[in-house]
Amino acid sequence: MNVIVCVKQIPDPAAPGALDGATNTLKRDGKLILDDSDAYGVEMALQLVDAAGGGEVSLVSMAPNGETSGLRTALAMGAAKGVLISDPALQGSDALTTAKILAAAVKRLGGADLIIGATESSDGYTGTVPEQMAELLGLPSVTFAKKVSVEGGTLKVNRQTENGYDEVTCALPALISVTAGVVEPRYPSFKGIMAAKSKPVEEVTAADLGVTPVGWAGAGQKISNVTQAEARQAGEIIEDDGETFGKIVGFLENLKVI
Amino acid sequence: MALNNIWVFAQVANGAPTSATLELLTKARSLSSNVTAIIGGDGASAAALGEFGATKVYAISHGANLPGVAIASALKSVIDGGETPDLIMFPQNYEGRDVMSRLSVKIDKTVITNNIDISDSGDGVTVTTPIFGGNTLVETTFTGAGPYLAAFRPKSFAAESAGGAAAAVTAIAVPDLGATGSATVTAVHVEETTGPKLDEANIVVAGGRGLGEATSFAMVEELASLLKGAPGASRAIVDAGWVPYSYQVGQTGKVVKPTIYIAVGISGATQHMVGMKGSKNIIAINKDKEAPIFGVADLGIVGDVHKVLPKLIEALKGR
Ligand SMILES: Cc1cc2nc3c(=O)[nH]c(=O)nc-3n(C[C@H](O)[C@H](O)[C@H](O)COP(=O)(O)OP(=O)(O)OC[C@H]3O[C@@H](n4cnc5c(N)ncnc54)[C@H](O)[C@@H]3O)c2cc1C
Ligand SMILES: Nc1ncnc2c1ncn2[C@@H]1O[C@H](COP(=O)(O)O)[C@@H](O)[C@H]1O
């Protein structure tokens, strides 16, 4: 069984986000890392290939400046190869264009039995890219997967719903988006990290994939204004001395809820 | 530009339109007099949808198919038939996102998600999206021709009845989905809950990783029940399996705006804050005085949850 995982490479979420003053897009310079949200997909893919007893995991990623460090992390976890789409023309691309690029990269890899993305990325969280890819690739899809297995060539998924979950079955090939926590991502071993250095990553442009228009030209939207929201007034912050519960009781009394 | 025709993706739970549906209909009818509610299933809710401003209902029964591809395909057939809405509004939730994503490819139009507002000026249709935990607001204007696809976070608009008559229902058939229709639901599991619903409760007590272990969540539940409120959670403890996903507050969970929000052992990550910052009063208990949650708290207690909560619970029990 062959699986392709979408891996987004993002600025370290621990660092405070900022907007580029010129373009009003998220700043994505500096070193990028593998989005945690996609580490679950990579792990899921490795486990499914393992359970199938053969096949490989490939990666597709679209990122600026030929960035591969996040891809290398996924390769160190055990993926075999990757396609990186890096192209200055892609700056400002909307979710639909991103999906077109990634879908074209999936085709370039010859497709797979299963394509995996995350329910949403940590920095952009549009939450639409995988489902858009499924439509572009003409595949069935199961979004918000919180448990995944393949039994007798059929995909079985527990799909998160607002108040529980649905059991869903689906024929392969298919696309799924996985939720955080679906599996426990492994830490790359030293051996894995060394091996990752020599695993193939093909770098291509939007033109190589035949996708046009891209970037600002392809986005059916433009940022028209950025403002600061009204800040909340700072409240009273007190150190607990064993009696602060009384403060809370008083606060609740004032609001007449007790 | 004039919005002559707006579609709203509507949802029904337990026989009645969801609050997010009524919010979107209320906003839609302020932008256009021609509002159609799109519903997965039959038209049984046409009276309630009409009351809040829908003039028409397109009812799309999709059986065991997942709604995304089925409803989007049916809508595409309507558009191919010659009706082009200017704007399609979706709730920012699972079904809304899936239908919107599939449809965006079918009609090759951009999507803008996570919005909290929309306006229509002479220059175009503009939506507002909060980023960085809601501290910064980005306004984005659609360019080119519609339909414009936009998803809105719950509680972005107040729902108000228009006193409208029942909407006229048209059933729309789902076309042959070919291979894309292979995903089917074989069983549905619903978690039983008691007490007020998290997104409607007047008081919410939410617990996070600072509780230390799953069993400590019992304190959060006890406090919530003493205050006749609902328990909630950060994503950290949902991912850890302490509580079900339906408890989650934040960007990928529920948006809550209660009179009082009590955050217990929650750091206040931006993704958590976008789901609770609209609360009227916020109380936070956290042992780290630098925790970002204190930045939005009206009353902040710098202390150990295991010391503060038991005393608070005792005091409330004694009343
Ligand atoms: C795409 C994406 C979407 C996300 N969506 C959501 C979402 O919808 N909702 C959400 O909540 N998160 C969401 N997150 C996760 C979010 O970034 C944080 O990781 C999460 O909110 C942290 O949960 P927490 O505050 O419980 O844990 P932590 O951040 O670990 O904070 C625990 C806090 O408890 C305090 N503490 C520890 N011990 C004690 C004690 N004994 N007494 C008192 N205080 C104590 C600590 O000081 C700390 O501040 C999302 C993340 C991503 C990337
Ligand atoms: N630039 C990208 N490169 C690789 N995968 C991506 C990219 N953008 C989005 N994805 C995938 O789509 C998911 C949802 O992204 P988003 O729509 O931005 O929330 C991500 O978690 C990834 O799995």
Residue by residue, pLDDT tens for chain A (258 residues) are 999 999 999 998 877 777 887 777 777 777 899 999 999 999 999 999 999 999 999 999 999 999 999 999 999 999 999 999 999 999 989 999 999 999 999 999 999 999 999 999 998 889 999 999 999 999 999 999 999 999 999 999 999 998 899 999 999 999 999 998 889 999 999 999 999 999 999 999 999 999 998 888 888 899 989 998 888 887 999 999 999 999 999 999 999 988
**Cβ neighbour number for residue A5 with a 10 Å cutoff:** 29
Tell me whether residue A17 is exposed, middle or buried, using C-beta atoms within 10 angstroms of its C-beta: 0 to 12, 13 to 18, 19 or more.
Answer: middle
Residues from chain B that touch A161, judged by Cβ atoms under 8 A, are 94, 188
pTM of the model: 0.93
As for ligand 2, residues whose beta carbon falls within 6 Å of it are A 6-8, 35, 37-38, 61-62, 95, 98, 102, 117-118, 120-121, 124-130
> Looking at CA atoms only, how far is residue A17 from chain B in angstroms?
7
B185: left (phi over 0), alpha (psi -120 to 50) or beta: beta
Instruction: Give the model's pLDDT for residue A138.
Output: 98
Nearest in space to A252 (alpha carbons), one of B83, B17, B203: B203
Instruction: Give the model's pLDDT for residue A217.
Output: 85
Render pLDDT for A54-108 as a digit per residue (tens, 0 to 9).
999 999 999 999 999 999 999 999 999 999 999 999 998 999 999 999 999 999 9
**Spacing, Cα B267 to ligand 1 middle (Å):** 5
Q: Helix or strand or coil: residue B218? A: helix
Do the beta carbons of residue B172 and residue B39 sit within 8 Å? no
Instruction: In whole angstroms, give the CA distance from residue A138 to residue A120.
Output: 21
A residues 8-47 lying closer than 8 A (beta carbon) to B: 16-17, 19, 24
Instruction: Give the model's pLDDT for residue B1.
Output: 66
Instruction: In whole angstroms, give the CA distance from residue A142 to residue A154.
Output: 13
Instruction: In whole angstroms, give the CA distance from residue A162 to residue B191.
Output: 10
Helix count (H) and strand count (E) of chain A? 8, 13
Instruction: In whole angstroms, give the CA distance from residue A141 to residue B298.
Output: 44
Instruction: In whole angstroms, give the CA distance from residue B169 to residue B38.
Output: 10
B residues 85-114 lying closer than 8 A (beta carbon) to A: 93-94, 97-98, 100-102, 104-106, 108-114
Instruction: In whole angstroms, give the CA distance from residue B219 to residue A103.
Output: 48
Residues from chain A that touch B94, judged by Cβ atoms under 8 A, are 143-144, 160-162
**Cβ neighbour number for residue B30 with a 10 Å cutoff:** 15
* Backbone φ, ψ for residue B232 (5° rounding): -135, 180
- Any B CB within 8 A of A242 CB: yes
Residue in the block written with tokens 């912050």: A237
Per-residue pLDDT in tens (0 to 9) along chain B, 319 residues: 689 999 999 999 988 999 999 999 999 999 999 999 999 999 999 999 999 999 999 999 999 999 999 999 999 999 999 999 999 999 999 999 999 999 999 999 999 999 999 999 877 999 999 988 788 899 999 999 999 999 999 999 999 999 999 999 999 999 999 999 999 999 999 988 788 999 999 999 999 999 999 999 999 999 999 999 999 999 999 999 999 999 999 999 999 999 999 999 999 999 999 999 999 999 999 999 999 999 999 999 999 999 999 999 999 998 8
Mutate to test the pocket of ligand 2, among A98, A123, A125, A204 (most ligand atoms within 8 A of CB): A98
Q: What angle do CA B66, B67, B73 make, to 5 degrees?
A: 110
